[in-house]
Amino acid sequence: MTESNIAPKLLVQMHRELLRVRHAELALAERYKQQEMRTPTHFGVGQEAVAVGVCAALRKDDVAYSHHRSHNHFLAKGGSVYRLAAELFGRETGCSRGRGGSVHLTDLSVGFVASSAILGEALAAATGSALSFKMDKANRVSTAFFGDAVAEEGAFYECLGYAALMKLPVLYVCENNGYATESPLAIRQPEGVSITGRVKSFGIETFYVDGNDVCAVYETAAKAVAFAREHMLPVFLECTTYRWLEHVGPHFDHDLGRTYRDEAELQDWQQKCPVRRSETVLLATGLATEAELEGWEAAIKAEIEADIERAYADPWPDPSQLFDNAS
């Protein structure tokens, strides 16, 4: 565990944010089982430290894009549980007015521009926003969150080459959770050539971090963001992490009898739970007591439940508005 130089206030803030993201996802996953959220949903339980640590290193006017597993990033950049829940319920008050669903989230007011389900799209768009910042000499950084499978897409290499060539202030964050749907990395990418290693060959500054350690993620991301901002250059950050739930849906794989990974593997990763690890830091540094931690958790869970209930009670979009924004 990192004995960090992070300001106490930020450590507490990041922990509370981890709790918010974790419990929002757990609550949404539980609610999802009732078949009222009719949108294929990729939960990010277990991967919260990447989103929270990176977003804590960004400024509000920096932008972020994400992929299909985007709830963590949407929330960590400042998006609300209420608008996310309303989107999953297909309500007019959803962040995309019920037109996008789980994989198409936006909230420009917090700099979360877009998430998209097709691998590599968000990364390309993030690169384009960085091009815009460069042309305007704006001191802003554009961030792309994506998974390890994006490193199999052509657009990934196109964009790395372009960002390096054009010196674009973009932060590429690879959440390497080892699986693309149910295919492990070993059958998708050649042995002995890491994603970070490949990116280095573009002359891009790279960083590698334990993605379950929010302090380490923050400190590394802060360095990466500062580098991108100061030098107007792309940076790449690979975070190793693990998703607890199935690829798409609210269940554990072992509960459904899936065999691409076993329960023991999950339990190993649960030992590295980012929320528990952050708790340990707060307790060890005396920034919180057990009772305070429990109090925060209970209050955050209550807020989330209230947000979800409020979203559920919201109105559906009016079918007469089916063509809104179509052309």
- Residues interacting with other proteins, by CB under 8 A? 63, 65, 94-100, 104, 106-108, 113-114, 116, 118, 120-121, 123-133, 135, 142, 154-155, 158-159, 161-162, 165, 324-327
Is residue 202 a contact partner of residue 174, using CB atoms and an 8 Å limit? no
CB of 89 to other proteins, least distance (A): 14
CB of 86 to other proteins, least distance (A): 11
Looking at the Cβ atoms of 108 and 306, the one nearer to other proteins is 108
Is residue 42 a contact partner of residue 103, using CB atoms and an 8 Å limit? yes
Looking at the Cβ atoms of 259 and 327, the one nearer to other proteins is 327
CB of 183 to other proteins, least distance (A): 20
Looking at the Cβ atoms of 36 and 324, the one nearer to other proteins is 324
Residues 6+ apart with CB under 8 A from 170: 126, 127, 129, 130, 141, 142, 143, 144, 163, 228, 234, 235
143 phi, psi to nearest 5 deg: -120, 135
Looking at the Cβ atoms of 8 and 161, the one nearer to other proteins is 161
Is residue 45 a contact partner of residue 305, using CB atoms and an 8 Å limit? no
Looking at the Cβ atoms of 83 and 247, the one nearer to other proteins is 83
CB of 115 to other proteins, least distance (A): 9
Looking at the Cβ atoms of 43 and 162, the one nearer to other proteins is 162
CB of 178 to other proteins, least distance (A): 25
CB of 210 to other proteins, least distance (A): 29
Looking at the Cβ atoms of 165 and 302, the one nearer to other proteins is 165
Backbone region of residue 137 per phi and psi (left: phi > 0; alpha: psi in -120 to 50; beta: other values): left
Q: Which two tokens stand for residue 195?
A: 């994603």
CB of 142 to other proteins, least distance (A): 7
* CA distances in angstroms from 51 to 62, 217, 274, listed in the order given: 14, 9, 11
**Distance (Å, whole) CA 127 – CA 54:** 17
Is residue 69 a contact partner of residue 147, using CB atoms and an 8 Å limit? yes
**Distance (Å, whole) CA 80 – CA 87:** 11
Is residue 145 a contact partner of residue 217, using CB atoms and an 8 Å limit? no
What dihedral do alpha carbons 88, 181, 267, 239 form, nearest 10°? Answer: -90
CB of 277 to other proteins, least distance (A): 34
Q: Which of 201, 207, 185, 326 is nearest to 260 (CA)?
A: 185
Looking at the Cβ atoms of 62 and 279, the one nearer to other proteins is 62
